[in-house]
Amino acid sequence: MFKNLNLQEILSLAYIILVVIGVISESIFYGVLGVHYLEYTSILDALISPFSLITSDLRVFIIVVLVMLFYYLYIRMFLPWIFKKTKKTKSLESIKSKKTLYFALLLALLVIFPSMRIGMSVSYKQKLKDKKFKNDHTLVFKSGEVLNVKKIGQNTSYIFYVQEDDTELTVTPVLDQIKQIKRIPKKD
């Protein structure tokens, strides 16, 4: 199917896949928290959301790399070992093809990002319910108001946050309302 694609076609396909993964994972995350994400996003936000998720935390980056490595090793080493043991060489040839490897890696991408966002959103939802968020950012509004909040997320136009002892996510336009976003230093 993808055998005769040139570089431009591969990049276009990768772009579409990234947008789909970004829209699905972010929509799930914010949907669980009660926000219709597509009302607050642009195509650029959806495109960079998988990269933003990976680079936001070293643990997430390590998990993504390990899952991709596991899929690669599973297809290239573990499955051939099983097929050699059971003497099914015909099936082994189809597994060793690059198409199977690409499909497995694509499947891993399509599963890992929405799965991580589901887990994160369920955790955040419980913290919202129990009011267990600690402020990690200070928002300085153009009106002069200062607010200490827990920042849940941000895209090019909006910031998503929760105020301490609040159970609802708040969405505020960054350009129209906010003058400055400061990170509150962690206390040791």
Using pLDDT thresholds of 50, 70 and 90, give the confidence band for residue 90.
low
- For residue 160, the model assigns a pLDDT of 94
186 DSSP 8-state letter = P
Tens of pLDDT, residue by residue over 63-80, are 878 877 887 777 777 777
Long-range (24+ apart) CB contacts under 8 A made by 162-169 are: 162/128, 162/133, 164/131, 164/133, 164/134, 164/135, 165/131, 166/128, 166/131, 167/128, 167/129, 167/131, 168/34, 168/128, 169/30, 169/33, 169/34, 169/35, 169/128
**Residue 16, phi then psi, degrees to nearest 5:** -60, -40
pLDDT of residue 164: 83
Q: Residue ranges of the domains in the chain? A: 7-130, 137-183
Residue percentage of the chain with pLDDT more than 70: 87
Using a pLDDT cut of 90, give the percent of the chain over it: 26
Q: In whole angstroms, what is the distance from residue 159 CA to residue 18 CA?
A: 22
